[in-house]
């Protein structure tokens, strides 16, 4: 069967680290409060002159190097982000130029924290239908620039960075077995950025006075829906492939909040301390669409995934969007 296979992974994070102790000096919070509620200890923050495209391009170069292919061999570039360099053009086009992928079509997609899985699903379909042979899928964010640093409920959560994966056509047993994407728009205003679109443009003085260009979140509602949605997406992938949670070698969930991660894993019969559960949230915080590709690259480079392993991805994000992918490594 013709399917797509990840042949190279890469990630890139800012050097600047913002710890919980650093946040204690900025807002009314504490390391204990943040850690107990989120599991986050530190996050990476972009510095002046660094943009979403900066990290996306470098993660892409590292993924291409691992795959052993040149950028000009790419047929397509898909970039998941909610923090593009500009409203337009697509940041994917900037990355295309930066890495020299002169033969690739390029576009952005907005699915929040599910962005990479959405992109993976599209890339997989392009390869399975024969319309592409080599596709680059990226998740990249600079969330620190849309975070309200006076809101302790949101600013503690988010970090910056990028991850990327090269997909190529394969006829072997390994590769992406299936992808599954969903959305429920009835909850769109539970996690969103109310300003800087055309409803509340940045040119409107009131938008700025009301701090509408920053992330807004109803935390309790997000928690309830996230756990339920990621469980549904994960079970859908397993059922589609005739598997159970016992067949999963590694579960890589979106790194949003440790409580969400543990609750989702528990529903799948995987304990919080099970080696099959991948967690790096404590180091990077919630990097939205970059979360899963950063995790895949880290797991790949540290030997957490072996040939033949069944790797289950699950994500949930604003929209609400959610999705899963099951991969035989």
Please report, for the domain that includes residue 313, its CATH number. 3.40.47.10
| CA-derived radius of gyration, the chain | 19
Q: Is 20 a catalytic residue?
A: no
pLDDT for the residue 150? 94
Q: 181: left (phi > 0), else alpha (psi -120 to 50), else beta? A: beta
Q: Does 185 share its domain with 69? A: no
Q: Does 37 share its domain with 159? A: yes
pLDDT for the residue 219? 85
Q: Does 130 share its domain with 212? A: no
pLDDT for the residue 181? 98
Q: Is 286 a catalytic residue?
A: yes
85 by DSSP, 3-state: which? Answer: coil
pLDDT for the residue 177? 98
Please identify, among 171, 186, 204, the residue that sits at the C-terminal boundary of a domain: 171
Asked whether the bond before 202 is cis by omega within 30 degrees of 0, the reply is no
CA angle 291, 91, 14 (to 5 degrees): 45
Q: Is 155 a catalytic residue?
A: no
Number of domains the chain is built from? 2
CB 178 within 8 A of CB 121: no
Sheet containing 175-183, strands listed edge to edge, beginning at the edge strand earlier in sequence = 175-183, 321-328, 310-317, 250-253
Q: Does 147 share its domain with 220? A: no
Give whole-number Cα distances, 259 to 39, 223, 281, in Å: 8, 8, 11
Catalytic residue (choose from 12, 213, 257, 286): 286
- What is the chain's pLDDT, residue by residue, as a tens digit (329 residues)? 799 999 999 999 999 999 999 999 999 999 999 999 999 999 999 999 999 999 999 999 999 999 999 999 999 999 999 999 999 999 999 999 999 999 999 999 999 999 999 999 999 999 999 999 999 999 999 999 999 999 999 999 999 999 999 999 998 889 999 999 999 999 999 999 999 999 999 999 999 999 999 999 998 889 989 999 999 999 999 999 999 999 999 999 999 999 999 999 999 999 999 999 999 999 999 999 999 999 999 999 999 999 999 999 999 999 999 999 999 99
pLDDT for the residue 112? 97
Q: Does 69 share its domain with 185? A: no
Task: Tally Cβ neighbours within 10 Å of residue 22.
Answer: 13
Q: 133: left (phi > 0), else alpha (psi -120 to 50), else beta? A: alpha
Q: Does 167 share its domain with 209? A: no
Please identify, among 171, 194, 218, the residue that sits at the C-terminal boundary of a domain: 171
Backbone angles phi, psi at 180, to 5 degrees: -145, 120
Entry pTM: 0.97
Catalytic residue (choose from 254, 257, 300, 310): 254
Q: Does 166 share its domain with 236? A: no
Q: Does 167 share its domain with 182? A: no
- Residue range of the domain that includes 50: 3-171
Please identify, among 171, 195, 217, the residue that sits at the C-terminal boundary of a domain: 171
Residue 1 CA to residue 9 CA, distance in Å, equals 23
Tokens for 280, please give them. Answer: 């790096």
Q: Does 118 share its domain with 85? A: yes
Catalytic residue (choose from 113, 155, 196, 235): 113
């Amino acid at each position: 069967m013709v399917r797509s296979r990840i042949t190279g992974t890469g990630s890139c994070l800012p050097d600047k680290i913002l710890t919980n102790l650093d946040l204690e000096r900025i807002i009314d919070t504490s390391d204990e409060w943040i850690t107990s509620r989120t599991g986050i200890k530190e996050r990476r923050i972009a510095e002046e002159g660094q943009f979403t495209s900066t990290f996306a391009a470098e993660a892409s170069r590292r993924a291409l190097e691992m795959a052993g292919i040149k950028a000009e061999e790419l047929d397509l570039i898909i970039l998941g982000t909610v923090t593009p360099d500009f409203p337009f053009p697509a940041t994917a086009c900037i990355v295309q130029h930066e890495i020299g992928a002169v033969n690739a079509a390029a576009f952005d997609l907005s699915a929040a924290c599910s962005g990479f899985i959405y992109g993976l699903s599209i890339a997989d379909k392009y390869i399975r239908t024969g319309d592409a042979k080599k596709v680059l899928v990226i998740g990249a964010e600079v969330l620190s620039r849309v975070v309200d640093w006076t809101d302790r409920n949101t600013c503690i959560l988010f970090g910056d960075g990028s991850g990327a994966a090269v997909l190529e056509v394969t006829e072997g047993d390994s590769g992406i077995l299936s992808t599954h994407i969903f959305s429920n728009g009835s909850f769109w205003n539970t996690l969103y950025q109310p300003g800087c679109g055309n409803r509340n443009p940045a040119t409107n003085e009131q938008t700025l006075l009301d701090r509408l260009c920053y992330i807004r979140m109803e935390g309790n509602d997000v928690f309830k829906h996230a756990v339920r949605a990621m469980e549904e997406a994960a079970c859908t992938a397993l059922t589609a492939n005739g598997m159970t949670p016992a067949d999963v070698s590694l579960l890589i969930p979106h790194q949003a909040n440790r409580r969400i991660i543990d609750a989702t894993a528990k529903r799948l019969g995987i304990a919080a301390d099970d080696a099959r559960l991948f967690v790096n949230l404590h180091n990077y915080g919630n990097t939205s669409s970059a979360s899963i590709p950063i995790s895949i690259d880290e797991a790949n480079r540290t030997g957490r995934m072996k040939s033949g392993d069944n790797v289950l991805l699950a994500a949930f994000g604003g929209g609400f969007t959610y999705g899963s992918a099951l991969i035989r490594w």
